[in-house]
Amino acid sequence: MNESRRNFLKVAGASAVGAAWGIPVVSALAKAIKSTPLPANLSGKRWAMIVDINKCKRPEVRRACADACRSLHNIPDIERPHREIEWIWSDGFENAFPNQSNEHTRADLRESDVLVMCNHCDRPPCVRVCPTQATFRRADGIIMMDEHRCIGCRYCIAACPYGARSFNWEDPAPHIKQLNPDYPHRTRGVVEKCTLCAERLAEGLEPACVEAANRLAGPGAMIFGDLGDPNSAVSQALRVKTTIRRKPSLGTSPSVFYVV
């Protein structure tokens, strides 16, 4: 190889590496300057949910919620322990609220199981860490997933303080009991989670879990609505009921409230 061609290749190689490094950095910085901080006020719509722990105390109520979600969203039933996919499920009160219970807490509360799911945080850690913006916050507060963009790095799972995200360790298709043709199922190697039934909201319907809970346990077992609207059912209920949120000290500001 003669000297000038060698030099040309060197310069070309260096330029290519420089461009591969420089363009993403410059465009990322440009985006950082352009992007506006999350709105702190509640103007506009912000969906929220209230779970009444006492009204959802019966296991069949909670199971109905999870089942409604499962069949609607083609969530696989994976038998292998600790590889499950969960959008909404039951866990102990002490597990869901580790800093908010002690040995003197009302026994019926302390020993009960509660529904847990994605909290659709106002300041979501998962969105902050995702390297591809595959998970993002919609203007109405829903934390969404683009499973086609997700690279499966699971950084969002490490970041979520609520354990609300599931990774498809294997192909979910063979584990879906009955396929709902109106909703896509996911592929192996991506993260998924509760979408607050965005597809139902678009049709003017409440989330499936809310519908199931209220059908079985009576109205008010779960309340859904817009926090931005002072007259919505959630806003009204929050004014009169004592509610708590999960891990409030972290500053994530969840959209899911619990009536104790």
Partner 1 sequence: MLEKAFTGSRRYWIWIFCLLALIGAGGIAYLVQLQDGLSVTGMNRDVSWGLYIAQFTFMVGVAASAVMVVLPYYLHDFKAFGKVTILGEFLAIPSVVCCALFIFVDMGQPQRVLNVLLHPTPHSMMFWDMMALGGYLFLNVIISMVTFGAERKGIAPPKWIRPVIILSIPWAVSIHTVTAFLYSGLEGRSFWMTAILAPRFLASAFASGPSLLILLCLLVRRISKFDPGKEVIQKIAVIVTYAMAINVFFVAMELFTGIYSDIPEHMNHFQYMFFGLHGHHALVPWMWAAQLLALGVLIALLFPRARRNEKVLAFLAAGVILSIWIDKGLGLVVAGFIPSPLEHVTEYAPTAIEGLVTLGVYGIGILILTGLYKIAISVREGLQAH
**Which residues lie near partner 1 (CB under 8 A)?**
14, 17, 20-21, 23-25, 27-29, 31-32, 80-84, 91, 94-96, 98-99, 116, 125, 128-134, 149-155, 157-163, 166-171, 188-191, 247, 250-252
Q: Which is nearer to partner 1, 167 or 258 (CB)?
A: 167
Least distance CB 33 / partner 1 (angstroms): 9
Least distance CB 102 / partner 1 (angstroms): 11
Distance CA 153, CA 166 (A): 12
Q: Which is nearer to partner 1, 74 or 166 (CB)?
A: 166
- Contacts with 191 (C-beta within 8 Å, 6 or more apart), sequence order: 134, 135, 145, 147, 150, 152, 154, 156, 157, 165, 166, 167, 168
Distance CA 137, CA 121 (A): 9
Contact 225, 85 (CB under 8 A): no
Least distance CB 235 / partner 1 (angstroms): 27
Contact 154, 191 (CB under 8 A): yes
Least distance CB 233 / partner 1 (angstroms): 28
Q: Which is nearer to partner 1, 72 or 134 (CB)?
A: 134
Return the structure tokens found at 115: 């529904």
Other Cβ atoms less than 10 A from the Cβ of 35: the count is 8
Q: Which is nearer to partner 1, 105 or 235 (CB)?
A: 105
Max distance between CA atoms of the chain, in angstroms, equals 84
Q: Which is nearer to partner 1, 27 or 54 (CB)?
A: 27
Least distance CB 166 / partner 1 (angstroms): 7
Burial environment of residue 208 by CB neighbours within 10 A (0 to 12, 13 to 18, 19 or more)? buried
